[in-house]
Amino acid sequence: MTNGNTENIKKRIFIVFSFLSVLYLCAFLRDFYLQIIEHKILKERADKQTTQKIVINPVRGIVFDRNYRSLAVSIDVNSVYANPLKIKNPQKVAEVISQLLGVNRKSLESRLNSMRNDKKTFAWIKRKITDDEFKRLERVKPKGVDFVKESQRFYPKEELASQFIGFTGIDNDGLEGIERLFEKFIKGESGIRVVTEKDAKGRSVYVFEKPRSEGKNIVLTIDENIQYIVQSELEKRVEKVKASGGCAVVMNPMNGDILAMASMPKFNANQINQYSPSDRRNKVISDPYEPGSTFKVITACAALEESVAKPDTVLDCSNGFIQVANKRIRDVHKYGKLTFEQVIQKSSNVGTIKLGMMLGPSQLYKYISLFGVGQRTGIGLYGESPGIMRSPEKWSGTSIGAIPIGQEVSVTPLQLALIYSVIANGGILYKPRIALRIEDSEKNIIKEFNPEIKRRVVSEKTAKILSSILKGVVSEEGTGNLAKVKGFQVAGKTGTAQKAKRGGGGYLSNKYVSSFVGYLPADKPAVTILVTIDEPSTAHYGGIIAAPAFSRMADRIMRYLNIKQGEETPAIPMIVEAENRLPDGLVFSKLEKTKKSNGKNLPVRNRNL
């Protein structure tokens, strides 16, 4: 072989070697790029094709009444999902599932096809199915369709306190009531479940990336038994007088605890889609109305507190009518001269208006504000109305004749119950309390809610005088005769208010809100009870329509609490409070200090209720 041939061979070998080296280098670089640089992206792409991530809703905490009876719990139910990439025939699968689960076939088929085209590996088909639906589908479950356990809210007492407790949505988020207010405590934290490809035996393998955590439990102030009494009696009365609805609230006037809160029509929180938004509304806090005669106690308290009248002050009721600007206002009966006490007991409009005129707009408005009218109560529930109360500069010429008797002003049923609780407890306005504490599953206390005083409204002397007068309302001579409870003295007031037109402009004919609000035992009050009946058909006076329902509720509650006439009702001591300032700048003095026992503050929780 010549030198020339040898050189050519060497060149060829070099060229081939160089070419192979470049190929190997390219392959190495490509491999490096895929395994090192693109590793994370490619792994995520592969995982996406073989796994599905499912967000698992947390188990919400239990909602208890004050005696640890369950009002809202969580149960595990099955939900159905699909991996669209594993479904070869979406049309057939959609047809099978629509027949078994009642979902729309065309919509499901379209969604499965769309998600297949987008290379998506997870789609909900139907969440939180019934046991019957699960059994039907399990027998013929198509490939690519599977089940996963989810937590679902369940209300074991169904319609009991449903507007108060509220409800949750499909993702277990609190939407109304207690469920929404305490969402951050009772919801817990979601988990994530990874569903892998099936193993050698055809089973899906579940791996928890993040476990779900349980929510905290909440102990409410309401009493299940009192709630049942109130709700059942309210329902009976609404049906008997052929009313469009009604509501009731029971509270402990000595500490602000809400013991029951009911609205009619009722609804079952387990079947919220079968009810209208109006049925689900908590009317006790959201539906303000002109209170009528029940509002007269504020005018009376103001007159006593400002010393413009005494119980024996005589007022000329002008034979049953009074002219205020261009408006003539009448009494039901043509009264002549009545004492202050008789004006309240006989519910004289004329006498009460004259008290309002003696006070003047500024003084009257001051006490209306002190009682909390026109302000939210602080209960915290979403949807609460502050009511309506205009400042004196916005009053008309007839306002001084309307506001003292509960017209041109609106309150919620809760606000009115709080007003009468002020008189019952000696002059203190409490913030309504709806929860006692938040606990974990071991009953360790996470947060406690103590009674909270907002301010002193009137003196104890004024409250006692009014309380004594209100006893006379519930007597043979008073308008609240039908509210009497055998063995107990009741203090209270009737109310009959014509419903105002929406947007103002007068009143609706033959549309009334009939009410009675009171407390008992009158000298040692254990409960304040308010009953309102909306648009009754058989009559409209509060003493005829609402008072009998109050009587039935009160009688059953006294027996349930085992309270007998003349027995001492456990007193709740006052709490030290700093100065309170209303929005209009009125400042009120500090409340008296808490009574002491052995150098320690007395407990504020009343465990008997």
Under a CB-based contact definition with an 8 Å cutoff, are residues 206 and 195 in contact? yes
How much helix, strand and coil, in percent to the nearest 5, is found in the chain? Answer: 40, 25, 35
Which one, of 221, 239, 373, lies nearest residue 297 by Cα?
373
Is 293 designated active site? yes
Return d(Cα 507, Cα 486) in angstroms, integer.
Answer: 37
What count of other Cβ atoms lies within 10 Å of the Cβ of residue 62? 20
Q: How many CA atoms lie within 13 A of 563 on its CB side?
A: 24
């006893």: which residue's tokens? 471
| Residue 157 zone, left/alpha/beta (φ > 0; ψ -120 to 50; rest) | alpha
Return d(Cα 492, Cα 554) in angstroms, integer.
Answer: 12
Between the alpha carbon of residue 524 and those of residues 81, 432, 528, 564, the distances in Å are 60, 20, 11, 11
Residue 145 CA, chain-centre distance (Å), reads: 39
> What residues contact residue 278 under an 8 Å CB cut-off, 6+ apart?
none
Residue type, 155: Y
Helices (H), 33-66: 39-50
Return d(Cα 354, Cα 313) in angstroms, integer.
Answer: 12
* Number of residues in the chain: 609
> What residues contact residue 213 under an 8 Å CB cut-off, 6+ apart?
58, 188, 189, 191
Under a CB-based contact definition with an 8 Å cutoff, are residues 468 and 489 in contact? no
Return d(Cα 247, Cα 516) in angstroms, integer.
Answer: 11
DSSP 556-587: HHHHHHT--TTPPPPPPPP-----EE-TT--E
Which one, of 493, 488, 485, 489, lies nearest residue 514 by Cα?
493
> What residues contact residue 603 under an 8 Å CB cut-off, 6+ apart?
none
Main-chain phi, psi angles of 481, to 5 degrees = -55, -40
Q: Which helix (H) or strand (E) holds 512?
A: strand 507-520
What count of other Cβ atoms lies within 10 Å of the Cβ of residue 204? 15
Given 263, 293, 399, 514, which residue is catalytic?
293
Q: Which helix (H) or strand (E) holds 515?
A: strand 507-520
- DSSP lists the bridge partners of residue 264 as 246
Return d(Cα 121, Cα 94) in angstroms, integer.
Answer: 16
Helices (H), 383-436: 399-402, 413-425
Residue 209 CA, chain-centre distance (Å), reads: 35
Return d(Cα 388, Cα 375) in angstroms, integer.
Answer: 8
Catalytic residues: 293
